[in-house]
Amino acid sequence: MNAPLIQTEGLRKAIREGAAERVILDRVGFSVAPGEMVALVGPSGSGKSTLLNLVSGIDVPTAGLITVLGRELGALDETARTRFRRRHIGLVFQAFQLLSTLTVEENILLPMELDGRADRAAMARVAALCERVGLGDRRAAFPDVLSGGEQQRVALARAVLAEPRVVLADEPTGSLDEATGCEVLDLLTELCRERGCAVLMATHSRRAAAACDRALRLEAGTVLEAVVAPA
Ligand code: ADP
Ligand code: MG
């Protein structure tokens, strides 16, 4: 069995609320293997986004271990975690999170640019990815003239440009109508499957969960309780 690309152990996230402490996640442990797509399901407020932010190193846990590609994130300072994320983790968000002042191409290139790796090869890959996601003729457009589905396709291209082994998606179809959401989901699945990425995707969509190999359920409150087969 291949070593997992994502592994968490005894993960806990608590926040201070005045004198009290509120536990958002507790005893969360799971792993995701190379090439595996895992849905993260559970009601609103169950901690899906919090968990994704921990795995991406945007946020830090109160306790527990997170290992991505064999690196324990707790051993990295914030700067090192940011660099690690840009290099190895593709991120997709519900609200797309494109920069409105940058063109499609510039948005896709941005994470590699920030990582100092926007060379000719990367730019050639941007062009190819624009074609691949059906936006070959929109490369110079700004996000505000694109539909929601088009904007999310730009975000998918941005997420995979650096050929990350790990992709984290937070309700990637949550802002889209059903038909557009299906198209975006199919594209995300194809792009990640053909690259053998490990995918962890928070979703409310049964169809999105069913497109994954398995699902992890965050129960109301805090504990990651069960591994359930997709519907
Ligand atoms: P989900 O993505 O499953 O809807 P979240 O991870 O966004 O859940 O939120 C889990 C819980 O943590 C919620 O109760 C939310 O209100 C709380 N929470 C998340 N981030 C913060 C924060 N920065 N400050 C206070 N509460 C937070
Ligand atoms: Mg959320």
* Interval 158-179: pLDDT, tens: 999 999 999 999 999 999 999 9
Please state, in angstroms and rounded to a whole number, the distance separating the CA atoms of residues 182 and 187: 9
The CA 221 to ligand 2 mean position distance, Å, reads 14
CA dist 207 and 181 (Å) reads 10
229 pLDDT more than 80? no
CB 6 within 8 A of CB 70: no
pLDDT bucket at 154, cuts 50 / 70 / 90: very high
24 CB near ligand 1 (under 6 Å): yes
Average pLDDT estimate for 27-48: 93
> Which pLDDT band, with edges at 50, 70 and 90, does 2 fall under?
confident
Among 11, 16, 24, 200, say which to mutate for ligand 1: greatest number of ligand atoms within 8 Å of CB.
24
* 16 Cα: distance to centroid of ligand 1 (angstroms): 12
For ligand 1, atom 15, the nearest C-alpha belongs to: 45
pLDDT tens, position by position, 193-214: 999 999 999 999 999 999 999 9
Alpha-carbon gap, residue 31 to 15, rounded angstroms: 24
Q: Are 139 and 128 in contact (CB under 8 A)?
A: no
How does pLDDT run across 109-119, given as a tens digit for each residue?
999 999 999 99
Which pLDDT belongs to residue 221? 46
Q: Find the mean pLDDT for residues 31-54.
A: 94
**Strands, sheet with 71-72, edge to edge from the N-terminal-most edge strand:** 20-32, 6-17, 63-68, 71-72
What is the rounded CA–CA span in Å between residue 159 and residue 78? 20
Residue 47 Cα: closest atom of ligand 1: 6
What percent of the chain has a predicted confidence (pLDDT) above 90?
A: 90
The DSSP H or E segment spanning 51 is helix 48-55
Rounded to two decimals, what is the model's pTM?
0.94
Find tokens 């306790």 and name the residue.
63
Ligand with the closest atom to the CA of 22: 1
